[in-house]
Structure 1
C-alpha cells in the first residue's frame, strides 16, 4: 500500500471515529428538546455528555488537519466549494461549546432557556449538514480542470445529498437516544428506550434507501458487505434496545455508523472528490496528495501521537461511566 492510499484510509478512520463519538452527543443535544420534559431532565442529558463532548471534537480537528496536510488539493476544493455549509457547521460548533459552558453560569430561567435552544439547534444543524456534505462528496460535484468547485450553493441541495442529511440526523439521534438510555436511570431512561425504538426503525428505512442509492450509483463488490453490516447492525440494535440490552444496542448502533461511513469511503476510492463535469477532472488520492516525504513524516507523527490520544480519551470515558438521574441534579439547576 502506497502512502497516499494509507492516508486515505487513516482519514476515513478519523471521520468514522468522529461520527461514532460526536454522533451520539449531537443526538443527545437534539433530545434536550425532544425527550426531556423539564429543566432538570435537560440538565441530566447535558451532564451525560458534559465530560466528553469536547474530546469528541478532537477527531474532527484531526480529520481536517490530516486532510490539509496529506491531500491539500482535496482540502482546498472541499472547503472552498462547501464554504457556506461548513462555515455554518463551524459556527454551530462554536456556539454549542459556549452554550455548554455558559448555561449554568446564571440561574435565571430565560438565560438557561436561551442556551438550551442553542444546544438543540447547534446539534441538529451539524448532524444534518454533515450528511449533506458527504452525500455531495460521494455523488460528485462540479469540479473544473483547475481543481476548483464550479457549482453553486443550490447544486449542493440535491435529493441524494438531502437524503444523506436525513440519514445522519436520524442515525445520530437514534445513537444519542440509546446512549441516553445507557447513561441514565429512572423515567428518562424508559422514555429514551421507547424513543430509540421509533428512531431505530425510521433510521433503518432511510439508511437502507440511501445506501441502496449509493450502491447503484457508485458502489462495487467491496461496498456490499459494508452496506449489509450497516443495515443489519441497525436492525439488531433496535432488537437489543427493545429487550433492554442497552450496552449491546449502543455498540451495534455504533457499528452501523462505522459501516455506513466505511461504505461512503469505499464508494469514493480511489477518488476523493469526483467531478460531474468530466471524470478526468476528478480529484484522486494520487493527484491530490502531498509529496511522499511529507506523508512519511506525517505517518511517524501519527504513529506516536494517535495511541496516546486514544488512551487518554478511553480513560475519560471510563472515569465518567456511571449512570445519572434527576436525583443527582442540584436544586439550584
Structure 2
C-alpha cells in the first residue's frame, strides 16, 4: 500500500476519532439549557466533560497538522476556500473553551448565564458547520486548473451540504444525550434518557436521508456497506436507549459516527477534494501529497507517538468513569431564580 493511501486512511481515522469524542462534548453543550434545570444540574452536565473536552480537541489539531504535512495542497485549498466557515468554527471553539474556564469565576447568575450562552453557541455552531464542510468535500467544489477555489461563500450552502450539517447536528446532540444518561444519575439521567429516545427518531430520519443521497449521487459499493452498517448501528442505539441500556446505546451512537465518517472517506477516495468544474481539476491523494521522504518521516513519528497518546487518553477516561449526581455539587451561594 502506498504511503499516500496510508496517510489518507490515518487522516480519516483522526477525523472519526474527533467526531466520536468531541461529538458528545458538542451534544452536552447543546443540551445544557434543556437538561440543566438549575445551576447544580448545569454543573453536573459540564463536569461530565470537564476532564476530557480539551483532550478531545487534540484530535482536531492532529488531523489538521497531519493534513498540512501529508497533503499540503489539500490543506491550502481547503483552508483558503473554506476560510469563513472554518474561521467561524474556530471562534466558536475559542469562546466555548473560555466559557468552560470562566463561568465559575464570578458568583453571579447573570455572569454564568452569559458564559452558558457561549457554551451552547460554541457547541451548536461547530456541530452544524463540520457537517456542512464535509458535505462540500464529498460533493466537490469549484476548483480551477490551479487547484484554487473559485466559488463563493454561498456556493458552500447548497442543499446537500446543509443536510450534512443537520445530520451532524442531530447525531452529535443524540450522542451527547446518551453520554449524559451514561455518566449521570437521578433526574439528569432520566431526563437525558427520555430525550435520547426522541432525538434518536429525528437522527434516524435525517441521517438516513443524507446517507441515501450520498450513495445515490456519489457512492460506491464500499461506501454503501459502511452506510448500511452505520444505519443499523443508529437504529440499535435508539432501541438500546429506549430500553435504558445506556452503555449499549453509547456504543451504538459511537459506531454510527465512526462508520458514517468512514463511509464519507471511502466515497471520497482517491480524491481528497473533487472539482465540480472538471475532473482534471480535482485534488487526489497523488497530486496533493507531500514527497515520499516526508511521508516516511511522518509514518515513523506516528508509529512512536500514537500509542502514547491513545494510552494517556484511555487512562483519563478510566480515571473519570464514575457517574455524577447533583449531590456531588455544592449549593451555590447565589441561587438561580428558577429554584
TM bucket normalised to smaller? over 0.9
Partner of 2:242: 242
Partner of 1:93: 93
For 1:272, what is the secondary structure of its paired residue?
A: strand
User: Which residues of 2 match residues 104-253 of structure 1 at below 5 A?
Assistant: 104-253=104-253
Residues 13-58 of structure 1: CA deviation (Å, up to 9, x unaligned):
0000000000000000001022221221111100000000000000
For 1:222, what is the secondary structure of its paired residue?
A: helix
Q: 1:330, CA displacement in angstroms?
A: 1.3
For 2:289, what is the secondary structure of its paired residue?
A: coil
Partner of 1:296: 296
Q: Does 1:59 align with 2:59?
A: yes
Q: Distance in 2 between matches of 1:294 and 1:219?
A: 31
Q: 1:110, CA displacement in angstroms?
A: 0.9
Superposition CA RMSD, Å:
0.7
Q: 1:211, CA displacement in angstroms?
A: 0.5
Residues 58-102 of structure 1: CA deviation (Å, up to 9, x unaligned):
000000000000000000000000000000000111111110011
Partner of 2:274: 274
Task: Identify unmatched segments of 5+ residues in structure 2.
Answer: 334-339
Partner of 2:336: none
For 1:330, what is the secondary structure of its paired residue?
A: coil
Q: How many residues align?
A: 333
For 1:105, what is the secondary structure of its paired residue?
A: coil
Q: Distance in 2 between matches of 1:138 and 1:266?
A: 10
Partner of 2:102: 102
Residues 94-151 of structure 1: CA deviation (Å, up to 9, x unaligned):
1111100111111111111100010001000000000000000000000001111000
Q: Distance in 1 between matches of 2:124 and 2:215?
A: 27
Q: Distance in 1 between matches of 2:197 and 2:266?
A: 29
Partner of 2:84: 84
Q: Distance in 2 between matches of 1:161 and 1:43?
A: 34
Residues 177-227 of structure 1: CA deviation (Å, up to 9, x unaligned):
000000001011111011000111110111111000000111111111101
TM-score (norm 2): 0.97
Partner of 2:255: 255
Q: Does 1:73 align with 2:57?
A: no
For 1:148, what is the secondary structure of its paired residue?
A: coil
Q: Distance in 2 between matches of 1:130 and 1:2?
A: 28
36-45 vs 130-139, greater mean Cα deviation: 36-45
Q: 1:332, CA displacement in angstroms?
A: 2.7
Task: Identify unmatched segments of 5+ residues in structure 1.
Answer: none
Q: 1:157, CA displacement in angstroms?
A: 0.3
Q: Distance in 1 between matches of 2:324 and 2:67?
A: 38
For 1:247, what is the secondary structure of its paired residue?
A: helix
